[in-house]
Structure 1
């Protein structure tokens, strides 16, 4: 009798705690990230070192590249591999034959784990040349490929892309003979052999700077930047090449002020539409953010401009698309009439038709210059940006900001390097577990590469409220089952949830970190029903039931004694009936969505002996 009463008490407390949690909005669960590690790299020259790009492999290793002062070698390429715990595995430096300035700007990995870096290196006889280096996974140099333009002058690669066959595409600017500076795009095969070179000289025969590249699914290549026009100043210019390097089309944009316009970033959707982002001089508005969508034939579909409230200089430097073809850009907005005195970080979301959805701005604690230059998003629609936040005339911090899909700020992480340094994050990456990696450095003497890993409690995405109706539940002997209640679901990884039935709080453990959800009032609306199920086993044999419910599907997972079974039931978004098993032990429940408000919910599983509670996170 004592045991039965105690069990009833535990079950009732579990229901109360579940309903308390069910009534809590997700914002209560938002937590700042945890700085798991910071790893720095100071080159042998003990001077300024700056990482420019980052990539992750399937095993969780991290690769960064950039440039670093050597001992009597000026600036050199410096590429580093770290393991998932931030431990340095290898460092590879490259000093070009001219013993001058060598800077790497971009990094890519192929499916075999090889690493490619590109930028430019100096030679006494040819000036600066495009330089691509391929390393194997152990850091061994496989080959070096270079490109020297026709004028033997300044040839500087800025961006790189790779196709599924391992071909490498690099773009930047290159001095021409009688053409001043041109776009120059090259394609190399996986062995470093040059396949083709495509150059573009704008109509004014002036300065043309290319800074970004993208590929579509058909192997076409897109490059963009700024190109001098005839009487129009610098114009935004994007070029499409086919896979053989033939020019397909050129699209140029001259803004309303006939002034300075440039494209800084490209994205391509699955239909082959092309999006470019950058800045464009407006009439009495300074420079404005500009987003243009072209179709696959280079026809302008729409153009969106954003002018900040002070009519000064605003711009963005990167762009990404989500699965619904919404567009995200990030950069800065000037918040003071004096040019460049006060910048805020600026992140904007547009829909696929160019309609503004939201604008998010971040002003750092010192009310100085804040700028974000890299962007990523996760599977839940959260957006991450990183860059720099000024704290004094001589000191900048890394900033990393997370916004939800509606543009609400979830958290801000700041990193300040030791000493009085100007540091900025230049690149960001996310892994499949939701960890965030940023890297960067600074041009000021004493600045080092700094690469940071942040872990976070992946955002809890609640499902809709629903009603669970008991249909039939029998055990293998035909007896009624007892001890299970199913209340709701959360979209996260499964973790144990201990709780104390004598106090009105519940503690959720996620990835080893604790969230405490305070007690609160709740109202039972009779949309849930309690049912019981009994699992038999020792303390290491926990039966877990997993349930996932979304707009049109219901999935039920059961794990008993290490064996998984699952079933998937399609529905019309209203009611589904799900059965597991076909014999005497068949279970059957009916799930009906009852409300539109999305709340968090838990399911608890009670076993005697011992008493246990677990959450489920499908």
Structure 2
């Protein structure tokens, strides 16, 4: 082990995501207890593992979490998660921009009257910022104040029109695009008539955007060239690809006859990698899979394919049991 440290105060603290930039600086986010409730924190370490800043994003007295964090080439950090409103069973998704000294420059909320949470965050080569998550709100607003006046995406003269402003039912996935100053450019729902939980986002070398998660919907939107056009289990994994304008050009179910869940996605070396949990004894596997039989009631999985070949059977490898 090269390095390990505690990161917390006197009550309950948890780190939920970590990012390392090209210079070796480490960015961490999660939640920390402040005055009886949880607030989002962002901590930055330099290459010698000294703390540059430890910033707490204060809000209401409800519990808040930072779920994902990335940084750009200028040292600005971006964090997404959820802000819960005290006494109400609602939450807003949010994205915050932190400057290199640790000051919060801007915060933007994505939310409506229900529960909204951001679980995915990515920056493309041009500095556009993409946020994904899930929502049960029938109308989503983007604003700089929780519950404040909405900034309607698409009103920016340089913005593209809304792609899909239709709530489909249950929890829907959402996908949003912002510029570097967190001005909204586009926002859309994506999903079927039941619950669809988007867990992550990735961008490939060509600028295509991928989201993944799991769905209970029998009518989740899939394209004609999908690997699987029908849901096989109670929940199936979904993988959907979008253009920078948030138009979907590929979408598929993935999984076996049991409940399957995807929690993580990354893009690297022209491949898209997925990881999660499967309860299926017939989960699609590669001929050279490390583990070809499910050992427990549920096993982990890893799956990958070239970004241009998701319309063919991807490679998948059984991981260790997660009973």
Q: Same fold (TM over 0.5)?
A: yes
Take 2:276 and 2:288, find their aligned partners in 1: how far apart are those partners? Answer: 11
For residue 354 of structure 1, what is the aligned residue in structure 2?
246
Aligned length: 273
Bigger radius of gyration among the two:
1
Give the CA deviation at 1:387.
2.7
For residue 166 of structure 1, what is the aligned residue in structure 2?
24
Query: Match for 2:261 among 352, 371, 374?
Result: 371
Inter-CA distance 318–440: structure 2 relative to 1 (3 Å threshold): farther
For residue 214 of structure 2, what is the aligned residue in structure 1?
332
Asked if 1:385 corresponds to 2:267, the answer is no
Query: Match for 1:295 among 179, 188, 193?
Result: 179
Inter-CA distance 261–437: structure 2 relative to 1 (3 Å threshold): same
Take 1:427 and 1:259, find their aligned partners in 2: how far apart are those partners? Answer: 33
What's the RMSD between the two structures over aligned residues?
3.1
Query: Match for 1:285 among 157, 166, 169?
Result: 169
- Which SS does the other structure have where 2:4 is aligned? strand
Pairing of 1:37-76 with structure 2 (within 5 A)? none
Determine if contact 2:79/2:96 at 8 Å carries over to the other structure: yes
Asked if 1:148 corresponds to 2:8, the answer is yes
Inter-CA distance 400–317: structure 2 relative to 1 (3 Å threshold): farther
Inter-CA distance 235–442: structure 2 relative to 1 (3 Å threshold): farther
Take 2:29 and 2:294, find their aligned partners in 1: how far apart are those partners? Answer: 36
Give the CA deviation at 1:184.
0.9
For residue 266 of structure 1, what is the aligned residue in structure 2?
121
Deviations 1:64-107 (A, max 9, x none): xxxxxxxxxxxxxxxxxxxxxxxxxxxxxxxxxxxxxxxxxxxx
Take 2:202 and 2:107, find their aligned partners in 1: how far apart are those partners? Answer: 22
Inter-CA distance 187–373: structure 2 relative to 1 (3 Å threshold): same
Deviations 1:551-577 (A, max 9, x none): xxxxxxxxxxxxxxxxxxxxxxxxxxx
For residue 318 of structure 1, what is the aligned residue in structure 2?
200
Pairing of 1:170-189 with structure 2 (within 5 A)? 170-178=28-36, 180-189=37-46
Inter-CA distance 413–215: structure 2 relative to 1 (3 Å threshold): same
Name the TM-score, length of structure 1 as normaliser: 0.40
Give the CA deviation at 1:422.
1.7
Determine if contact 1:427/1:440 at 8 Å carries over to the other structure: no
- Which SS does the other structure have where 1:270 is aligned? coil
Inter-CA distance 170–400: structure 2 relative to 1 (3 Å threshold): farther
Give the CA deviation at 1:161.
1.1
- Which SS does the other structure have where 2:62 is aligned? coil
Deviations 1:277-333 (A, max 9, x none): 11111447110011111111111110121121xx11102211111233221111112
Query: Match for 1:228 among 81, 84, 99?
Result: 84
Take 2:176 and 2:276, find their aligned partners in 1: how far apart are those partners? Answer: 24
Q: Return 5+ residue gaps in structure 1 as ranges.
A: 1-134, 136-140, 402-410, 445-618
Determine if contact 2:291/2:318 at 8 Å carries over to the other structure: no
Determine if contact 2:196/2:217 at 8 Å carries over to the other structure: no
Pairing of 1:194-593 with structure 2 (within 5 A)? 194-202=51-59, 204-229=60-85, 233-255=90-112, 258-283=113-138, 285-308=169-192, 311-335=193-217, 342-364=234-256, 366=257, 368-377=258-267, 383-391=272-280, 415-416=291-292, 419-425=295-301, 441-444=320-323
- Name which structure has the greater RCO, CA cutoff 8 Å, separation 6+: 1
- Which SS does the other structure have where 1:425 is aligned? strand
Determine if contact 1:158/1:172 at 8 Å carries over to the other structure: yes
Determine if contact 2:277/2:299 at 8 Å carries over to the other structure: yes
Take 1:414 and 1:289, find their aligned partners in 2: how far apart are those partners? Answer: 32
Determine if contact 2:255/2:284 at 8 Å carries over to the other structure: no
Take 1:246 and 1:378, find their aligned partners in 2: how far apart are those partners? Answer: 31
Give the CA deviation at 1:348.
0.6
Determine if contact 2:299/2:318 at 8 Å carries over to the other structure: no
Inter-CA distance 369–245: structure 2 relative to 1 (3 Å threshold): same
Give the CA deviation at 1:358.
1.7
Give the CA deviation at 1:198.
0.8
Determine if contact 1:212/1:265 at 8 Å carries over to the other structure: yes
Take 2:180 and 2:255, find their aligned partners in 1: how far apart are those partners? Answer: 38
Give the CA deviation at 1:418.
6.2
